[in-house]
């Protein structure tokens, strides 16, 4: 697959210091295909931890910055400055950090959800669109080959007219009051000041929604949500039930939960049309179930018989050799690399390069916002 | 398990003649444990077909009746008359048929949903409660041993306080306009005059709802439904999305569909509490997934390690020898037999005998009615 | 499916009294399709228990016999005597019991393995072939619809030339020394005097072998076996590893075990040819995996898209409504009923009626005998 | 997990040029944890291709060598020379290449099987043992976390005394005569001159054998094999059936095939003792089934409840986020990195670092050789 073209792209990182989860994931993802080399970081909002984390990772001490502002300015001034930055902070810092780098002419790869408020999201979208720089949002699940294949099959009509989009993202790690225990991940994700008004809806519901839209090619026109905080004292929702109506008459349901014991990371997508159906489970991501109506169900596999071009272009190894979460995540990075390289030479990325961007981020924030509005009003239909 | 006690119980049947599906299922179910013997029938609304169907089944010609009214009267007058009748007609005939037999002092085993209208249901409930006779509703899925075990585990607190009840019943056989082809099953099930105002919601949604309530022990206080007829020209709903709020704060979702290609009879139940979760799939009914929060997931099997008394008392054969749909259905019949025998001697059935009855039937009809009301009003919360 | 033709066939039973497992299974299987009615029995080798067991089942007291010899003679003399007998004793009694009934002109339905010794098997085969009566061996797994379909697909060339037949039958119930605890099933099955020289190989290995031959249509020419008794003090094998060479060059492996914790009744068959492969698991018997080489794997289901005539003729209910072990077993009985009725009118059963018979029983005994010979000689190739 | 300690280790590669499969896998595996940096290569036996392949990968032109001999000498002379070399050629070149680097004082990471002949293997083992350098054999499947956990559980007695080790490695890619089509992978793997006398037994059978021994901790004392070449004209075996006897009385079976349609890379391991059983499937490597005898089966997951230290130390991301083949492979590299660093400072690797080495390689070659001997003699028991 992806191969370095005149050497790897110089990458910086904001957030992701000692004790972080997603930062380490981004670093492996950036490394798998050899397209990026991490050369600079402002890895924590705590200056001391930021520096220590950078040294841990073997960064040049002078490129271990104490703040992202400092980093954006300093790197923009270097001949060998970073070309792209990965923003992996809690949600509320996405906007100011992204702003600083876009304004310094540096491409942005940003974790989801886009921001912690819809206002920030709209401002960032305007900024990103005007900047001329790439904005890549790591809705990593859209990097899985079989998700690419599902999307392509829907687009090619294998399912006929889409009628139903059923989305689930179910976990159990917040079944109890983990945030009070001091667990870092739980603490910021359940803190509205850092996470945004949505808890489960923003953390994982938005992944499921993005996946459903990505694969079906549909846009939702109306949503009705029932958000619940089951754990006493929790300040954000930990369970989300949503009904959706899509353009053209398709319907959908979305269930996201962090309090369903026995579910680790059960992201599931089912799409049905008048000619066939698809089913995919993130925990076994190399498989895609496809049933043309009236025929036996088929088990499509990554790299196996029945693979489509969209899957094959993001596949690294043969069928039966499972690719996982990190490879799917890496595909977002390798697509970003292709886009960055194409931008250098042609000014923009070709259509064949597919990654979630600023529009998806804004759409996700509108979805979160609409679900919260709907639920707050007792469960009514609202426009996202 | 069940053994004949002074010989099998004499059974009659209304409906279920040549070409019917569910009538044949009832006959096998009644036979499996040897508790019933079919001796009379009014097997079709068409007199000629009724008689021919009875002769096919080897019934005594004089007990092949041309109408259920005739049968109720004649059998009530015989010394060797039927003790119970199985009503397996289209829904709109459940009420008049059940009325005739209850008034003749004959126990009733009736297919679901209870009736085709809520008015009929309420009238029938009043009648049944006053009759002193048994009324058994064949929500057959509640006969599966692992469903019995799930219910018992919930009741015993294995899941803690229930938070979530997720119900699905998904099929694909009505993906196209089958009713126009003359297929008998599709024709009556999509005809409001015979099926009732609900299509998918009444045919299968009500099964999922009954199962969710049966296992969780909860009653829903509010529902919000979005019913759709995807197939052009179809007169009833073929896809149903429902949000539920249960007493005590639990939430739920219910999805029922007959237009989701790749799903044959995918009835699924997932229940989650603050201490654990359960998951069950009808197409592999001998398994029940159980996760005590914080421990590995366990695969409980019918007859296997971890079986509970409620499962064992309705289990026929050892673990690994799958029991199926017919055995689950037969359990409703064997429970009915136990209840009938106990009624003879003690005047009523003991608490250990468990079967869906008139109250469940009325509750199901209220659920159907509420979903239709909710959906008709654009998707609002209503009381069932 | 099967329907009574001029009333059910009168059936007697030898063995299967109080506390027995397989006798109860035979009785349900005989009842499911309404083809048989149990009217006589010699249900235990203990006369008192034989009588009590018959009364329990509601048999006419005068047809509760104290020995099979008495029963064979008395029933042969009755105008309403039994037409067929089910023999469900421990293995060593199959031969004398079958002999008594065949000589009395009564059809025999016999549990497997055929006998406890090869000598008995050969004598019984000669007798059965000369008798003009039907001999049905309840290799029940060959009654499963998807096994019928697999056999038909192989015969029709869907797999091309068969190269590999992989058979497994794995249980765990004898992992410890259960026979010393007094458990009745374990006691006789591990007693060479009642079970025969083979333990696991005779009890379940022979089922796997029959299934492999039934589906592949192949006959084995050479086998090499390694039999082990893992549990100290056990007098028969509890684990069996076999290599097989079939006519025409196909190869196979067979693993049967009763000491593999985590396996309840894991009978598995995989068959591969130069054009495709099939895989089937008894614990989920309604599914059959089929892969035409170079195409995606397909999940064929009982009653679903892709069903073949051989499966449909033994299918009772629609796809997605699981049939189980008892229905598969019942199919052997309904095939027996068809054969008996055809024999009445035409003198023999039509080719379309498929059941394991005396030749299969003899072949199974030769297989058991060959495995024991091979293993005793240290693991050499022998002819079955 | 693993983090660069004073920068990545300098790595060279032999083989793995344009069009190769496993070379690219090694490069990603070496990159994932950031422990290695590829700086030199002799990437093909064809000098021109070797150079072009190196330039493609962005190597310094002067370190794109035309032969491994040249590379070994030149790199040994450089101050910044490679510390380790990855050998990813066809099997027959493993020995001469490994010899050259070991003699130059460079650690060796070598693909499996160790060599193409047992003689070469014995010579290489002597050489490696005398060299004082590390020899790492990439039996990559032993890098999977759940395999580590299985091994630890067996060692800790969770299964009691091991009785049975059942190994399978089943593929279908050589069902037809692919080697005649010019497909590069098929061509060398079926050429005895490059692959060795064993085909399927060497390519994949040896992986299954290594895994069975690695997890069970047992050594086989006797094997009996039946090797087949099903595809006309094929010069090596494409299907392998093996019976095994382990020290202490355990038994085993091993089936490896490349001609079983419907199997992509179906490596399966099942281990049973007198107290419990384990089951693992490579295509879903994040799961491990565990049954303590007499209790329900448990689904252990990577990173989930029930994880053991041995699994956790090689786990990168949380439960439910699947790790795949590349991560398992990368663990062999990260273990190698730990061993190399420890060797620098302490002269040897600590016991906690676990990787297959020269002894495993020699054991694998003896297994291959024994299987060929056994099969050639008609299927007799031989010592490996």
Angle at C351 between CA C348 and CA C352, to 5 degrees: 120
Q: Compute the nearest-CA separation of B46 from chain A (Å).
A: 33
Q: Is C130 on the interface with B (CB under 8 A)?
A: no
A279 has a pLDDT exceeding 90: yes
The answer on pLDDT for B1 being more than 70 is no
The kind and range of the H/E element at D264 are: none
For residues A269-297, one letter each, b for 16 or more C-beta atoms within 10 angstroms of the residue's C-beta and e for the rest, the string is bbbbbbbbbbbbbbbebbbbbbbbbeebb
Portion 325-344 of C in contact with B at CB < 8 A: 325-327
Q: How far apart are CA B12 and CA B53, in angstroms?
A: 13
Residue B294 has pLDDT above 50, yes or no: yes
Q: Which of A290, A297, A305 sits opposite C294 (nearest CB)?
A: A305
Contacts of B367 (CB under 8 A, 6+ apart): B205, B206, B209, B220, B223, B384
Give the closest-approach CA distance of C171 to chain D in angstroms.
11
Mind telling me how many Å the CA of A301 is from chain D's nearest CA? 9
Tokens of A317: 């190894």
State how far residue C222 is from chain D, nearest Cα, in angstroms: 12
Cβ within 8 Å of D, C 287-306: 289-293, 297
Q: Residue A150: enclosing H or E segment and its boundaries?
A: helix A145-155
CA distance B135 to A327: 58
- For residue C266, the cross-strand partners are C170
C287 pLDDT above the threshold of 70: yes
Picking from A15-24, A109-118, B101-110, C110-119, which range would have the lowest pLDDT averaged per residue?
A: A15-24
What lies within 8 Å, CB to CB, of A60 at 6+ separation is A39, A40
List pLDDT tens digits, range C317-342.
999 999 999 999 999 999 999 999 99
Q: Give the number of beta-carbon pairs within 8 Å between A and C.
A: 32
% of chain C with per-residue pLDDT over 70: 98
The answer to whether residues D87 and D15 touch, using CB atoms and an 8 Å cutoff, is yes
Q: Which residues of B touch A169 (CB under 8 A)?
A: none
**In angstroms, what separates the C-alpha of D271 from chain B's closest C-alpha?**
19
Arithmetic mean of pLDDT, B83-107: 97
pLDDT digits (tens, 9 = 90+) for C41-81: 999 999 999 999 999 999 999 999 999 999 999 999 999 99
Residue D320 contacts B where some CB pair is shorter than 8 Å: no
- Secondary structure (3-state) at A237: coil
D21 touches A: beta carbon within 8 Å: yes
Q: Show residues of chain A in contact with D185, CB under 8 Å.
A: none
* Burial (Cβ within 10 Å: 0-12, 13-18, ≥19) of residue A11: buried
User: Which residues of chain D neighbour C165 with C-beta distances below 8 Å?
Assistant: none
C260 touches chain D (CB under 8 A): yes
Q: First CA to last CA across chain D, in angstroms?
A: 37
Rounded distance between C-alpha atoms, residue B125 and residue B104, angstroms: 16
What pLDDT band is residue B327 in, cutting at 50, 70 and 90?
very high
Query: Would you give per-residue pLDDT tens digits along chain D (384 residues)?
Result: 334 446 899 999 999 998 888 999 999 999 999 999 999 999 999 999 999 999 999 999 999 999 999 999 999 999 999 999 999 999 999 999 999 999 999 999 999 999 999 999 999 999 999 999 999 999 999 999 999 999 999 999 999 999 999 999 999 999 999 999 989 889 999 999 998 889 999 999 999 999 999 999 999 999 999 999 999 999 999 999 999 999 999 999 999 999 999 999 999 999 999 999 999 999 999 999 999 999 999 999 999 999 999 999 999 999 999 999 999 999 999 999 999 999 998 888 899 999 999 999 999 999 999 999 999 999 999 999
Pairwise CA distance, residues C137 & C74, whole Å: 24
Assess A19–D contact: CB distance below 8 Å, yes or no: no
Q: Which residues contact C145 (CB under 8 A, 6 or more apart)?
A: C286, C302, C303, C311, C312, C314, C315, C323, C328, C331
Give the pLDDT confidence score for residue D6 in this predicted structure. Answer: 62
Segment 26-65 of chain C within 8 Å of chain B by CB: 27-28, 31-34, 56-58
Site from A297, A303, A311 to mutate, C interface, most C CB atoms within 10 angstroms: A297
What tokens does B92 get? 């709109």
Which residue in B33, B265, B304 is closest to C321 by CB distance?
B265
Of D239, D253, D261, the CB nearest to C251: D239
Residues of D in contact with A284 (CB under 8 A): 284, 322
Q: Which residue of chain A is at minimal alpha-carbon distance from C293?
A: A305
Neighbour-count burial of B306, counting CB atoms closer than 10 A to its CB (0-12 exposed, 13-18 middle, 19+ buried) = middle
C289 vs D230, D262, D290: nearest CB: D262
**In angstroms, rounded to a whole number, what is the distance separating the alpha carbons of residues B243 and B230?**
20
| Helices B358-376 + B206-216 axis angle, to 10 | 120
For residue C216, give how far its alpha carbon lies from the nearest alpha carbon of chain B (Å).
23
**C262 Cβ under 8 Å from any chain D Cβ:** yes
Mean pLDDT of A36-60: 95
- pLDDT given for residue A155 in this prediction: 98
pLDDT at B298 over 90: yes
CB distance from C80 to chain B under 8 Å? no
Contact with chain D for residue A323, Cβ under 8 A: yes
Per-residue confidence band for A347, with pLDDT thresholds at 50, 70 and 90: confident
Q: How many interface pairs between A and B have CB atoms less than 8 angstroms apart?
A: 114
* Measured distance CA(A361)–CA(C326) in Å, rounded: 55
User: Strand pairing partners for A137?
Assistant: A110
Q: Do C262 and D289 touch (CB under 8 A)?
A: yes
Considering only CB atoms, which chain D residues are within 8 Å of A285? 322
Count of pairs with CB atoms under 8 A, one residue in B, one in C: 104
Mean pLDDT of chain A: 96
Q: In whole angstroms, what separates CA B136 from the centre of its chain?
A: 9
DSSP C7: S
Q: Nearest-5° angle of CA D272, CA D276, CA D278?
A: 60
Query: Which residue do the tokens 């209304």 mark?
Result: B14
Of residues B294, B295, B298, nearest to D297 (C-beta): B298
Query: For position A6, what pLDDT does the model report?
Result: 62
Contact between chains at A274 and B290 (C-beta distance less than 8 A): no
Residue A316 with chain D: CB contacts under 8 Å: 24, 28, 326
D-chain residue closest to B294, CA distance: D305
Tell me the nearest-neighbour CA distance from C293 into chain D, angstroms. 5
């Amino acid at each position: 697959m992806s191969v370095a073209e005149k050497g790897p792209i110089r990458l910086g990182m904001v957030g992701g210091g000692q004790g972080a989860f997603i930062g380490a994931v981004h670093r492996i993802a950036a490394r798998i295909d050899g397209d990026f080399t991490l050369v600079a970081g402002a890895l924590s909002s705590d200056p001391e931890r930021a520096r220590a984390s950078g040294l841990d990772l073997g960064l040049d001490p002078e490129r271990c910055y104490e703040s992202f502002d400092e980093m954006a300015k300093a790197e923009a001034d270097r001949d060998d400055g970073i070309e792209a930055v990965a923003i992996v902070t809690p949600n509320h810092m996405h906007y100011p950090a992204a702003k600083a780098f876009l304004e310094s002419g540096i491409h942005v790869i940003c974790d989801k959800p886009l921001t912690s408020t819809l206002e920030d999201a709209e401002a960032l979208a305007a900024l990103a669109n005007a900047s001329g720089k790439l904005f890549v949002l790591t809705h990593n699940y859209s990097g899985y080959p079989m998700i690419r294949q599902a999307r392509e099959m829907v687009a090619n009509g294998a399912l006929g007219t889409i009628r139903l989009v059923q989305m689930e993202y179910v976990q159990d790690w917040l079944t109890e009051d983990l945030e009070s225990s001091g667990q870092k991940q739980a603490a910021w994700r359940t803190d509205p000041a850092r996470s945004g008004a949505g808890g489960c809806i923003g953390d994982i519901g938005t992944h499921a929604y993005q996946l459903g839209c990505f694969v079906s090619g549909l846009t939702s026109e109306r949503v009705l949500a029932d958000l619940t905080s089951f754990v006493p004292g929790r300040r954000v929702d930990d369970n989300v039930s949503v009904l959706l109506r899509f353009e053209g008459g398709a319907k959908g349901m979305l269930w996201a939960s962090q309090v369903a014991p026995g579910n680790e990371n059960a992201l599931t997508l089912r799409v049905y049309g008048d000619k066939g159906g698809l089913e995919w489970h993130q925990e076994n991501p190399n498989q895609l179930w496809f049933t043309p109506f009236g025929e036996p169900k088929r088990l499509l596999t990554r790299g196996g018989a029945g693979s489509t071009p969209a899957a094959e272009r993001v596949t690294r190894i043969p069928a039966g050799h499972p690719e996982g979460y990190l490879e799917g995540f890496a595909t977002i990075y390798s697509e970003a690399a292709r886009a960055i390289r194409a931008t250098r030479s042609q000014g923009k990325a070709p259509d064949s390069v597919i990654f979630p961007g600023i529009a998806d981020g804004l759409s996700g924030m509108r979805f979160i916002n609409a679900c919260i509005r709907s639920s707050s009003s007792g469960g009514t239909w609202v426009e996202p």
